[in-house]
Amino acid sequence: MNKGIMESVKDQMVGSIKGTGEVLNAAVDTVSGTLVTTIKGTGAVGTALTSTVSDVLRGAIMGTAQVGGDVGAAAKGGVVGVLKGTKEVGVETIDTVSVSARTLVKSAAEVGGDVGTVARNAVEGAISGAKQVGLNVEEAASAAATGAIKGAGEISQQAVQQVRNAVTGVIAGVKVVVKEPFK
């Protein structure tokens, strides 16, 4: 984990939220901007990309929680930011959506956020972001839901149930299909 990236994003989120009171746009801008800069700077792909996405999103959730902001809105903006940022540098994939949702759920649990709300918002962000960057919306929603459940699985069985309930069904007009198995 890159403490530098996470701390930097956390500080940017704190400053941005304190300045504007706006969590969703702060998350979109901070996450996409940081990813573009970092990926261009390091050429991160594969595992490096996954850990960069995780660090950036953890920072976004930590910063939002620090100022008492809406971690659900940060989750939604975070996924949109990941999709916009990775598209800008040509590395957008459905995998980054799954990793994003997984990280967001785990980070929300760390700061005492509602994992169900965060998971649902991550799926909404995946849908919104997929529309913006031209990815398959159903695939993105499914990847986010599946990732969120994986993240919950690393927390507790109760978290899995909460998240599964939150991400199953129709979200933002899209039927979300969760892929088995949740290992």
Examine the pLDDT at 160 and tell me if it is beyond 50.
Answer: yes
- Bin 172: left if φ > 0, else alpha if -120 < ψ < 50, else beta: left
Query: Could you report the per-residue pLDDT of 21-39, keeping only the tens digit for each?
Result: 999 999 999 999 999 999 8
Ordered DSSP codes for 50-86: HHHHHHHHHHHHHHHHHTT--HHHHHHHHHHHHHHHH
Positive or negative CA dihedral for 4, 159, 71, 40?
positive
Identify any residues that bridge with 9 across adjacent strands, giving them in sequence order.
Answer: none
Q: What is the mean pLDDT of the chain?
A: 93
Query: Could you report the per-residue pLDDT of 44-82, keeping only the tens digit for each?
Result: 778 888 999 999 999 999 999 999 999 999 999 999 999
